[in-house]
């Protein structure tokens, strides 16, 4: 995938519900260390070619569009708290999920669409709350938050630059 592409293909790797296709624990300490290193490289670059996957598994891919700078400064920068900002960024940037089996989940302009897009400011189209709820129901609210953060990080980077994206630590404390 070109780093100049208008969207980024992302695999969820949040601590609450990481993609089951991710290969994160090896049979030896060295293999586990190597997998951890590869996972951190993926989180930093969000390059789908760097995703360590288990043999025979295909991850679910979320397509995240690059948001215009004017949308960030005119809309997102004014949204508080940060959880709501991530939610709105997700609604604006992620309109397709390529599930491993079955038809992709898509938010679109069509009147017949299950999940509809509406025009917003600065040429951005927004998915509705029903879209976000569907993604949260299927993949967890942390996924909406994680991908919203990816969208925020993506719009701050120069065009064509592959990161750095931040580590997604989640919004809930873990034991």
pLDDT tens digits, residue range 93-120? 999 999 988 899 999 998 899 999 999 9
CA proximity to 35, closest of 48, 25, 21: 25
- Residue 80, pLDDT > 70, answer yes
Q: Is the pTM of this model over 0.85?
A: yes
């Amino acid at each position: 995938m070109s780093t100049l592409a208008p969207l980024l293909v992302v695999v969820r790797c949040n601590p609450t519900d990481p993609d089951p296709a991710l290969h994160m624990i090896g049979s030896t300490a060295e293999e586990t260390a190597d997998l951890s290193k590869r996972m951190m490289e993926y989180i930093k670059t969000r390059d789908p070619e760097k995703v360590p996957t288990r043999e025979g598994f295909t991850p679910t891919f979320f397509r995240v569009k690059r948001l215009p700078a004017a949308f960030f400064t005119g809309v997102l920068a004014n949204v508080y708290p940060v959880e709501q900002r991530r939610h709105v960024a997700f609604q604006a940037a992620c309109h397709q999920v390529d599930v491993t089996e079955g038809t992709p989940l898509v938010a679109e302009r069509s009147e017949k669409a299950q999940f509809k897009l509406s025009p917003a400011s600065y040429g951005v189209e927004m998915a509705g709350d029903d879209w976000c709820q569907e993604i949260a129901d299927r993949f967890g609210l942390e996924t909406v938050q994680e991908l919203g953060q990816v969208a925020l990080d993506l719009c701050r980077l120069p065009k064509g630059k592959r990161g750095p994206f931040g580590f997604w630590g989640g919004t809930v404390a873990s034991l």
